[in-house]
Structure 1
Amino acid sequence: MPGERPEPPSLAAAEPGELDGRTLAGYRLEHVLGRGGMAVVYRAEDLRLGRTVAVKLLAPELTRNETFRKRFVRESHIAASLDHPNIVPVYDAGEVEGVLYLAMRYVRGRDLRALLDREGPLTGAQTVRIAVQVASALDAAHAHDLVHRDVKPGNVLIAEGTDPDHPEHAYLTDFGLTKKSLSLTGLTSVGQFVGTLDYVAPEQISGRPVDGRCDVYSLGCVVFEMLTGSPPYRRDDDLALLWAHLNDPPPDVRERRAELPAEVGAVLERAMAKRRDDRYGSCLEFVAALRSAAEVRSAPPVVPSASREAVRVVHWRDRPPAPPLSPPPPPAWARPVFEP
């Protein structure tokens, strides 16, 4: 009738922008933070606790698959139990109005994809700092028989760090869409490929069972991109890219960044080995080798004896760490209320 408000579209049929302001499962959706082929992520308000959260809504076709729905709820509960400083905490998961959802901490910052797009290749030190945190998160998940299977820059969130020695804090996200290791193949039960093609391990492509070394491969690809600004394999179409992951040897990182130590290339080559048995046994083992390789010191230059004490060439990797900084002054709220 004239003057009546139209009924809002159902949750399953709504376009992402049409859900702004809607409330579901105690969360008021504010606006879209990002979207992909399988889900849309909203910034939302937790009406029960009055905090800002991120709510991920999965594509309705996934909800209609009974096997996927049960697995999603089960693995989301496992992900929620992972108490790790570099894993985005999961607060809640379930189904509402025929759509699966996941509520998690809202991280103020940007993802690694945006950082690389804006700044290009990162320094060796920054690459190692971020990689250590992601590796620690992955190994913690592997200890619970969870394999991420979609490690990529877009799933690494970068927030402000705690001090000058730790200028960024990395969070790994999207554990609600992981798979149990050793029990499932490279395809989901609804025939969808899990993994992003630029970083996908060969065993995922061929449909073989996976374990944590699948994530070692993907993390190796991400580290390669952090150091060079682009993924290891660059091809014109998806089939050629899949073929490269399956058959082409890992590219030499020094062909794109010549100043890196040769040892870094050897570490990445092992991390991205075609056979998982040839890779590092864990993500932290890989990153420990990367850190050692990045800190390899060049041989000192040979100078005449008369000037040996007067000349000292310092390579950028040989520079001593900066002296500790003085502690910052306390914030305003911590100062005395009454001045003397």
Structure 2
Amino acid sequence: MIPDEPPSAPSLPAGLVGRKVAGYRLEKEIGRGGMAVVYRAKDLRLGRTVAVKLLAPELARNEVFRQRFMHESEAAAGIDHPHIIPVFEAGEHDGILYLAMRFVEGGDLRALINRDGPVPIERATRLALQIASALDAAHDHELVHRDVKPGNVLVAAGTDSEHPEHLYLADFGLTKKSLSLSGLTSVGQIVGTLDYAAPEQISGKPLDGRCDQYSLGCVVYELLAGTPPFRRESDLALLWAHLNDPPPGLLGPRPDLPEAVEAVVARALAKEPGERYPSCLRFVDELRAAIGPAPWSGSGPPTRAVPAVARAPGAPVPEPPAWAGPVVHPPFRD
């Protein structure tokens, strides 16, 4: 069973560096998967650098997939969110479907985990918050990602020392539902990545945003433990684990974590969608509550509460200075 490819893997565009596709000059191949290849490209109309994803030609010839790809690309482009990769254009050129999006200088969450291993709980929570915010925004637009995994989370430089990473959730224009509806997957084949697949994806039940929460729970577990929650020697055993085995405890690989963190992640990994949190942000909120107040980083003086000014009992409250009063604008007149 190959989760990311249909039974006969489509032929992907190759050797296109230097070619022009729909107003974009392809400069360098930067990624390749079972369904698409991604190039760094130059937008010849605006002079900016973009990322262009080219899909296998077989996909464009499938009318169901083509229409759904265009529909979901338009839906993704309509979501203006700081942690969803901006989609600039989607279309078809010489029989190849393409997607132009922001080029992110940097790697992805997979590279970050491989490089840094298990990360501190505060950092894991900060990263999870950005992904959860993007997912809930998509769910509000009735768009379910269905393939949340570290490789689909791009990592850019942040704004300052307190926000060193800025994450972008990518691949909304190629949700795996498109493949299953178009007949490009065989009967019983799982669409998505098995390490992060929710039980309802495996069993073929209807999906909503809670399946993305399960996948996010797997990503959070991996950020904290260094590996996904279920590791098995075969795909069949991995499927069984997602469907039946309780998630392994986090305190084994991470005894430094508060016990409450283990329970919070376990709820996000519940087998039944109704037993998970009502939203991805709620999951991260509970995770933050489980670790308690953020410790002082040492980069500046610790925050202290400002004491109240003592007043004699019954003394009138003084009027605020003029600069602190409300500003009232006159009504607009023609």
Return the TM-score normalized by structure 2. 0.83
Q: Which amino acid aligns with 1:60?
A: P
Q: CA deviation at 1:320?
A: 6.2
Q: Does 1:286 align with 2:273?
A: no
**Residue number among 47, 51, 56 corresponding to 1:54 in the alignment:** 51
8 Å contact 2:135–2:212 — kept in the other structure?
Answer: yes
Give unmatched runs, 5+ long, in structure 1.
Answer: 1-11, 297-316, 326-340
8 Å contact 1:111–1:154 — kept in the other structure?
Answer: yes
Give the aligned CA root-mean-square deviation in angstroms.
Answer: 1.9
Q: CA deviation at 1:14?
A: 6.7
1:255 aligns to what?
252
1:107 aligns to what?
104
**Residue number among 47, 67, 78 corresponding to 2:64 in the alignment:** 67
Q: 1:88-124 CA deviation, whole Å, 9 max, x = no partner?
A: 1000001111111100000111100001111111111
Q: Does 1:211 align with 2:208?
A: yes
> Which fold has the larger relative contact order, with Cα–Cα distance below 8 Å and residues 6 or more apart in sequence?
2
Query: Aligned residues: percent identity?
Result: 63
**Residue number among 183, 196, 206 corresponding to 1:190 in the alignment:** 183
Give unmatched runs, 5+ long, in structure 2.
Answer: 1-9, 303-334
Q: 1:9-49 CA deviation, whole Å, 9 max, x = no partner?
A: xxx96752x11101010000111111111111100000000
How many residues in Structure 1 have an aligned counterpart in Structure 2? 289
What pairs with 1:1-340 in structure 2 (closer than 5 Å)? 15-16=13-14, 18-178=15-175, 187-192=180-185, 193-295=190-292, 318-319=295-296, 322-323=299-300
Per the alignment, in what secondary structure is the counterpart of residue 147 of structure 1? coil
Q: Which amino acid aligns with 1:268?
A: V
2:326 aligns to what?
none
Return the TM-score normalized by structure 1. 0.81
Q: Which amino acid aligns with 2:241?
A: A
Q: CA deviation at 1:150?
A: 0.5
8 Å contact 2:136–2:280 — kept in the other structure?
Answer: yes
Q: 1:115-172 CA deviation, whole Å, 9 max, x = no partner?
A: 1111111111111111000100000000000000000000111111111111111110
2:306 aligns to what?
none
Per the alignment, in what secondary structure is the counterpart of residue 162 of structure 1? strand
Distance 1:174 1:14 in 2: 17
Q: CA deviation at 1:191?
A: 3.8
